[in-house]
Structure 1
Amino acid sequence: MKLLFPILFACGTALCWGLYGPTIQNARSTTGAWSPFKPYVFIGVAYLVWACGGGLAGMKIKEDLFTFGGVQSPAMIWGFLAGTLGAIGALSLTSAMLSGGKPMFVMPIVFGGAVTVTAIVSIIQLRDVRHTSPLLWLGMLMVISGVVLVAKYTPHGHPPKPAAAAVEQSGQSDVSSAVTPSDH
């Protein structure tokens, strides 16, 4: 029961971040009417509203002090650094999606890579490479394999219909055969 809430919140994060890629794909201009960074402005607005509002509400519920100086400064410093990393990550993810990336390709790389980076940082922070289980390294290889398999076998849409391709080719050949050397 003690792990129930962390698991539920982790699943909620996975759900939201898993939907992020397909959602941001909808923000891409199909006509080039706006740059890929226009949607990022409102991603930032949403982060600001939800993070500040949620953080302040949570502090109120937990009866926390609304000060960030002195002994409370690590919350501000590390929170700002974490937010910066999150924002840069969101910018990178948004750039990947809006420059032509597809969610079924980009998202497995993001999440598989994030798990691997977290494990490596944990090893570095604990300074315990010698006592790291070989199963961790095997797990990292499995994550990479999983990313490749998920990206490769996620449905990518229907292939073009062969009849449509044949019609296009026959239409092009009709036009080229209709032009005679005297028409040039």
Structure 2
Amino acid sequence: MMNSLLMKLGTLMCVLAVHADVMPAKDFDMEKMAGKWYIVGSASNAKWFVDSKEEHKLSTHIFKPSHDGHMDLVYVHNGPNGTCSNSTFHTKKTDTPGRFTYHSDIWNNDNDMRIVEVQYEEYALVHTIKTASDNSTHVLNNLLSRTNETSAVLQEKFSKFSNETGVLPENLIFLPRVM
């Protein structure tokens, strides 16, 4: 019993250490981040993601800086059978540029989103730590692109980043050019 508890505590400490090391991009510019981004890659060990990864379609994020210095994130989800839905999250900037927090009423979780690496005209790596109402956490990494495709070099960069943040290689997907 004690060994099991110590193993769980050790695992939790490792997970938290990985999350703490993921810092946003230096010199993050919210205005340059604004606009439409295609989600061309996603990675997570979360059960909901693993169970549904074959159903994922190319979707988009639209970042809109708000008047008060925060940012709205519009998620346009393309679902099965051609369905489409929108969700808007009102993210709050933190003291660290490139790091935002928001609550999702849909999933009843708190989100700590970090724009880890960005070339504003090409791609962005986004790392989000999601904390559920039962205090369990999981990571969702996204590879965003200004176009609905990505290069092998960026796919490799995203794969390496996701692996470094604890996501198993089999829990990583690259989305097709379907829209």
* TM-score between the two structures when normalised by the length of structure 2: 0.26
Structure number with the higher strand fraction is 2
- Larger relative helix fraction: 1
